[in-house]
Amino acid sequence: MEDTRIVCGARCCWWDSIDKVGSTPATGGATLPACPHCGGVLYEYPNEAEWWASVDRYEQCSGTVGYRGLMEWLRGRCVRDLAAALKAYETATGRTVIPGNRCAR
């Protein structure tokens, strides 16, 4: 059975399927799943449908125009934070994400 989990960086903007994860040393000689680029720890989603549902909920809730396009472009790319991701996305694609502010934080 195929593992369909999606993982995303807790400290970076990387995300991809679970088979793309790297690892980072942990105490006692064990390793932890991590961003394959920066070694940051990860959050996990049960499958790609749940991942995209969370992206779409955020875009709708916040009023951020173009957020899903940004996330589609980010797949497999490690960028240190959202501000850097927005800049890289605009440079690479010529598209701009318009931030919203409707979500309670």
Write down the pLDDT at residue 27.
78
Tokens of 76: 């497999």
Write down the pLDDT at residue 82.
92
Q: Can you tell me the distance from the alpha carbon of 89 to that of 80, in angstroms, rounded to the nearest whole number?
A: 13
Write down the pLDDT at residue 72.
98
Write down the pLDDT at residue 17.
96
Query: What rounded mean pLDDT belongs to the chain?
Result: 92
Q: Can you tell me the distance from the alpha carbon of 3 to that of 16, in angstroms, rounded to the nearest whole number?
A: 12
What are the helix (H) ranges across the chain? 48-62, 67-74, 82-93
Per the CB < 8 A criterion, the answer to whether 57 and 67 are in contact is no
